[in-house]
Structure 1
Amino acid sequence: MKYLLLAFTLVLGGCQSAYYSAMEQVGYHKREILTDRVEDAQESQEDAQEQFSSALEQLQTLVSFDGGDLEAVYDDVRSEYLASEEAANEVRSRIDAIDDVAQALFVEWQDELEQYQSANLRRDSQKQLSATQRQYRSMLQSMNRAADKMDPILAKLKDNELYLKHNLNAKAVMAIGNEFDGLKREVQTLIKEMNSAIAESDQFIQALGN
């Protein structure tokens, strides 16, 4: 609880360096923060997968519409779009948080290389830093590649919501249905990319802990 309260206070102050320093004073170091943030990002990616799949299922319900309250179906489509937008923003936010602490960790690690008296230990630590940075860049690229897949899907979900809003009839449903298969493929690709990013981040966490 003390970690959460301290973190909340310092984040509100907008000073990440002060936040990291304060966390270290209570034994919570950048390496641990980075691990936790990667795990948080994994969770947000899993949530996003579920949400985009839910939005797709709702569109499937719309495409299969066979009488009833079309207004209610539209409300559900809009709700799913808004929830998908929120999930995407959360993924982006988590990735940004990862990069913030990772860069702070790497700067600190590089600076501390100068403190070694042993050339062998310094050289070994430099190798570890370089390897960690390479693996980190690969993981971050994978996360961003998956996150980029969300944008065209969100655009299509928004198009569908707008079109249905102003054309609440069977013709609109048919028009949306004509594009459903393409959207389904994009969601499937997104899920595949996110699964790959999650798997790569698992490897990074394991390497970071060694």
Structure 2
Amino acid sequence: MTKLLFILIIVFIAAVYTGCQSAIDKAVRDTKYSAYEMIGIEKRDLFKKEVKNVKSSQQDTQEDFGDALKHLQAVYNVDGGKLEKAYKSLDSSYKDAEKSVANVQNHINKLEVLSGDLFAEWEKEIKEISSRDLRMKSSESLLNTQKKYNTYHDSLKKSEAKMAPVLARLKDQTLFLKHNLNAKVVAGLKTESDKIQTDINVLIKDMNESIAKADDMIKELE
């Protein structure tokens, strides 16, 4: 067997597996949606709930990054004898921020899947409407909702893209401070700390924007 043929076989198997997994995932989601529909909960309701979940998780993340910012500033403004206490507070807030970021990302992933399923169903069911006038109205409503969602989603991804780099820099500071808790070394990190503080403030601002757009999205779904 040639190397090229072997690679092609591996690629084929991976593609088949991916396709099967996607089909399985969709079947699981369809079963879940059917169960919800039996108790009167439609995809639109689930979508609206997930927008609220994303918003709530972002607010938690804002709070955790705000705490991290406060504790980072404290590290550079305390007496040498209090450095360890300040470090522990920073480390705790970093870990909280890490969990919050993962939670936001998880909810964004759920929202993306749910939005795709909702819009696909909506488009499909528009074709089943016999009234031309109602079809046009539903199509217009779908288009407006998709536009609103795309604006919201772009804002979400913008803030999400900044979370990991800020978190990584915060982790660097936390790990370094763990083994270098003396005033002289800490003072030498002030410039880097200032940059992180700026990044955190920008991230919080971006999250504020996407939270505001979440409110717009929720109103659209009322």
- In the alignment, which residue of structure 1 is the partner of 2:93? 80
Among 110, 135, 138, the alignment partner of 2:148 is 135
Q: CA deviation at 1:114?
A: 1.7
Among 13, 29, 44, the alignment partner of 1:31 is 44
Normalising by structure 2, what TM-score?
A: 0.83
Question: Is 1:58 aligned to residue 71 of structure 2?
Answer: yes
Could you tell me which runs of 5 or more consecutive residues in structure 1 were left unpaired when the two chains were aligned.
1-13
Range moving further from structure 2, 175-184 or 158-167: 175-184
Question: Is 1:42 aligned to residue 88 of structure 2?
Answer: no
Separation (CA, whole Å) in 2 of partners of 1:132 and 1:36: 15
Separation (CA, whole Å) in 2 of partners of 1:63 and 1:70: 9
Q: CA deviation at 1:69?
A: 4.5
Separation (CA, whole Å) in 2 of partners of 1:176 and 1:16: 49
- In the alignment, which residue of structure 2 is the partner of 1:164? 177
Question: Is 1:195 aligned to residue 212 of structure 2?
Answer: no
- State how 1:98-113 maps to structure 2 within 5 Å: 98-113=111-126
The one-letter amino acid paired with 1:184 is Q
- Aligned-residue sequence identity (percent) comes to 37
CA RMSD after TM alignment: 1.5
1:51-82: CA deviation from partner (whole Å, max 9, x where unpaired)? 00100111111111213243333322222211
Question: Is 1:153 aligned to residue 166 of structure 2?
Answer: yes
Q: CA deviation at 1:112?
A: 0.5
Could you tell me which runs of 5 or more consecutive residues in structure 2 were left unpaired when the two chains were aligned.
1-26
Contact 1:113 1:122 in 2 (8 A): yes
Contact 1:81 1:158 in 2 (8 A): yes
The one-letter amino acid paired with 1:187 is I
Q: CA deviation at 1:171?
A: 2.7
Normalising by structure 1, what TM-score?
A: 0.88
Separation (CA, whole Å) in 1 of partners of 2:189 and 2:140: 54
Q: Secondary structure at the match of 2:85?
A: helix
Separation (CA, whole Å) in 1 of partners of 2:77 and 2:150: 43
Q: CA deviation at 1:162?
A: 1.7
Q: CA deviation at 1:132?
A: 1.1
Based on CA coordinates, which of the two structures has the bigger radius of gyration?
A: 2
The one-letter amino acid paired with 1:56 is L
Separation (CA, whole Å) in 2 of partners of 1:185 and 1:179: 10
Question: Is 1:93 aligned to residue 99 of structure 2?
Answer: no
1:173-192: CA deviation from partner (whole Å, max 9, x where unpaired)? 11332222222221111111
Separation (CA, whole Å) in 2 of partners of 1:37 and 1:172: 45
Q: Secondary structure at the match of 1:72?
A: helix
Q: CA deviation at 1:115?
A: 1.0
